[in-house]
Amino acid sequence: MEQAFTELLRELEEFGEANDSSTDQRSRKMLNITHDTGAFLAVLVKACKARNVLEIGTSNGYSTLWLADAVGEGGTVTTVELAEEKAEMARDNFRRAGLHSRIRQITDDAGSFIAGRDAGEYDFLFLDSNRAQYVGWWDSLRRILADGCLLVIDNAVSHAHQLEEFSKLVEASDDFSGVLLPVGKGELVLLKEAGDAS
C-alpha cells in the first residue's frame, strides 16, 4: 500500500472521528468502518479474487477506498449512497486516491438499485447501511450474489439487536453459511453455497 494512500486513509479516519463526535445528527455523521475492518475487507476481496464488488453505504468513501484498492486493476467497485452531499465528498476522495476509474458511484435508493441487478452479477457484497432495510433486501441480495461468494455485514456486534430479523432469515436459508467475527464493530461473513437462490 503506497504511503500517499495510507496517509489519505489516516486523514479520513481522523476526519470521520472528529466529524462524528461534533454532531448528534445521524444524517451528518460519516459512520465509517474501523481501520481493522478495512484491512479485513481488503484481505477477503484479495483472497476471493473478487472483480465485481457491490457496497451499500458509501458515506464519504472511506470503506470504498479499501475495496477499490483491493480489487486491483480491471476490477470494479459499485457503491450506492442516497445522500448526495456524502456522495460528492466520496467522489472527491476517490479522485484524490487515484482510484476513481475502478469505482462506479450510484446515488439512489439501494433497494431499488439491487432489485434491478442481474442474478449472480456480483462476487462480493458489503452492507454498511440502514440495517432496518436488510430484511426487505434479502431476496435481491441472495439473487445478485454469485455462488461461492461472500456477503459481509458491518456492525453485526455493535448493533446485533437491529439485525435479529435479518439473522433469522439467513439461518433459515439453506444456501448460506456464515460466521460472526469480532473485527471492528463485528463482521457477519456469509458464504453463498452452490445452488440457485432465485
Task: Return the residue matching grid coordinates 461461492.
Answer: 148
Task: Report whether pLDDT(10) > 80.
Answer: yes
Quickly state the pLDDT bin for 197 (edges 50, 70, 90).
very low
Contact 5, 97 (CB under 8 A): yes
- Burial state string for 56-94 with b = 16 or more CB within 10 A and e = fewer than 16: bbbbbbbbbbbbbbbbeeebbbbbbbbbeebbebbbebb
Domain ranges of the chain: 33-192
Distance of CA 186 to the CA centre of its chain: 13
Kind of pairing, strands 176-181 and 187-192? antiparallel
SS3 category, 134: helix
Q: Which CATH superfamily is domain 33-192 in?
A: Vaccinia Virus protein VP39 (3.40.50.150)
Candidates 180, 186, 169, 160; CA nearest to 135 is 169
pLDDT digits (tens, 9 = 90+) for 18-41: 999 999 998 899 999 999 999 999
Task: Return the residue matching grid coordinates 500517499.
Answer: 4
pLDDT digits (tens, 9 = 90+) for 77-130: 999 999 999 999 999 999 999 999 999 999 999 999 999 999 999 999 999 999
Contact 189, 178 (CB under 8 A): yes
Q: pTM above 0.85?
A: yes
